Structure 1
């Protein structure tokens, strides 16, 4: 497996190329009571540089996404997006289907709508979707079609795969909205979604609500009111939450000092970062590192 970039101590991996075609932007992998990832690098913290869907029919292995542990459950859909940090506790077999695809694959969607779907944007940093019997029937059918098309490699395969992936991503996004967020089509929800997207792109550079309001061409007061109404939390809380998530990731998964993490997250003063972290977490960065690792082990 090729390391394509690294956040210093946290490597980032791309899709393993298809052994027959060499495809590096889209893969379908059937798992039938076998271990999918044999590379030991997956047993240490890492990021994937691609989107990852796994329809699990059987399996009970344990893994972590960011700082949250999950034990695989049958008939469940697991998904990740590129910025999340993965850690598998051990390599275990599973039964199901994995679909992996990159940003480059999404650019093949001429409408550009797939990139903005909830399951792709993942504003709630989710990972797991519960499935009803009807969901399983539908997903088995569409994923079966995707798998067949991927394996046959007929003419116009790219167009067929994109058409099927449109259906899959829209269906999963509906489930995502039911299980994680409200209707994103409402004006207030749309603004909240834009705000969260801006935070994701700029949280290491912009720490104030007014900066995001300027980027969205609205007043800070209006942005604050809408965000509070739609999310139940102040606008500044979302910025702080994203900073804290990344800080915790780096404290948990790397040996970077508090000063290094502070500068990486855009804090000019390391002592201010320490106070900021303690105010929101109740302990210092060093204290969190010790406590979280003790809990893990």
Structure 2
């Protein structure tokens, strides 16, 4: 397994626009042994999106958060944006890759998917071993999603959401069955509690120290545990939640940028504008124009 040099930061691979549909949020790719592996996948990296891989047949080993996995046939592998991945070698692959961004989950019709166990992943799992019946159903649902993905029209997004809801719900049931005996550690519980507090208070509290006070621990300890368990700083979780809500409001509400900033707890609209551009690379106004053009 290759490693990074001392001066190399862990790269984050961005979501690549779907070549067939132009989507920046969701894609599905089927492989019959000829899906190319890029050289940079052989170095430790993160992906800026959720990845589900149904393996019909493959051989080789890869690592997720320092845990090795020998790839199994008829298995499903899943990762979230914060996890560190690396492959040991390029090998042929038969199966289907499903990729979608956090922004895809933020769309109103997909919001419920975010709460499913497979997406929340409280046990930090990665591999689901499927029975023949499970594999057949998963493969069938992926085929339906692939067909609908390449069938544009006014019903496409609803159909994709319907099929994806069935698939992720079914996989979440398998997830809870497979990981029943794995009790989260104290540090994992703290991470979950912190995320829940962020969900509850992100509009009012914008500092990690405020959450540490709510949890009756030091800010240093909270930051250390959250970074160790999730791979990203505690403040990043908070910023991502603020950005997520901002994107929702920019898409789904007529709020002015000043009203939106105040709704999210920013004292000045100019500060919110700088925050949003720093986190996303575009201004709130640019994001609103682009996303509304895409989905209206």
TM-score (norm 1): 0.62
Separation (CA, whole Å) in 2 of partners of 1:194 and 1:110: 29
Separation (CA, whole Å) in 2 of partners of 1:244 and 1:193: 10
**Structure-2 change in CA distance of 1:111 and 1:103 (3 Å):** closer
- Give the aligned partner of residue 176 of structure 1: 175
1:1-297 matches, cutoff 5 A: 9-37=9-37, 39-110=38-109, 112-181=111-180, 195-199=190-194, 214=214, 243-245=227-229
Offset at residue 238 of structure 1 (A): 10
Separation (CA, whole Å) in 1 of partners of 2:63 and 2:112: 30
Separation (CA, whole Å) in 2 of partners of 1:35 and 1:202: 41
**Structure-2 change in CA distance of 1:239 and 1:183 (3 Å):** same
Separation (CA, whole Å) in 2 of partners of 1:13 and 1:202: 29
- Aligned residues of 1:31 and 1:95 also touching (Cα < 8 A): yes
Separation (CA, whole Å) in 1 of partners of 2:234 and 2:162: 39
Separation (CA, whole Å) in 2 of partners of 1:202 and 1:24: 30
- Give the aligned partner of residue 261 of structure 2: none
Offset at residue 198 of structure 1 (A): 3.8
**Structure-2 change in CA distance of 1:74 and 1:15 (3 Å):** same
Offset at residue 197 of structure 1 (A): 2.6
Structure 1 residue ranges without an equivalent (≥5): 1-6, 221-236, 251-263, 267-297
Q: CA RMSD in A?
A: 3.7
- Aligned residues of 1:48 and 1:83 also touching (Cα < 8 A): yes
Offset at residue 124 of structure 1 (A): 1.4
TM-score (norm 2): 0.62
The size of the alignment, in residue pairs, is 216
- Aligned residues of 1:117 and 1:169 also touching (Cα < 8 A): yes
Per-residue displacement from partner, 1:190-221 (whole Å, max 9, x unpaired)? xx998543446899x869xx956826xxx89x
- Aligned residues of 1:123 and 1:196 also touching (Cα < 8 A): no
- Aligned residues of 2:20 and 2:150 also touching (Cα < 8 A): no
Offset at residue 40 of structure 1 (A): 1.6
Structure 2 residue ranges without an equivalent (≥5): 1-6, 199-206, 236-296
**Structure-2 change in CA distance of 1:161 and 1:58 (3 Å):** same
**Structure-2 change in CA distance of 1:183 and 1:66 (3 Å):** closer
Give the secondary structure class of the aligned counterpart of 2:145. helix
Separation (CA, whole Å) in 2 of partners of 1:143 and 1:265: 35
**Structure-2 change in CA distance of 1:238 and 1:142 (3 Å):** farther
- Aligned residues of 1:200 and 1:242 also touching (Cα < 8 A): no
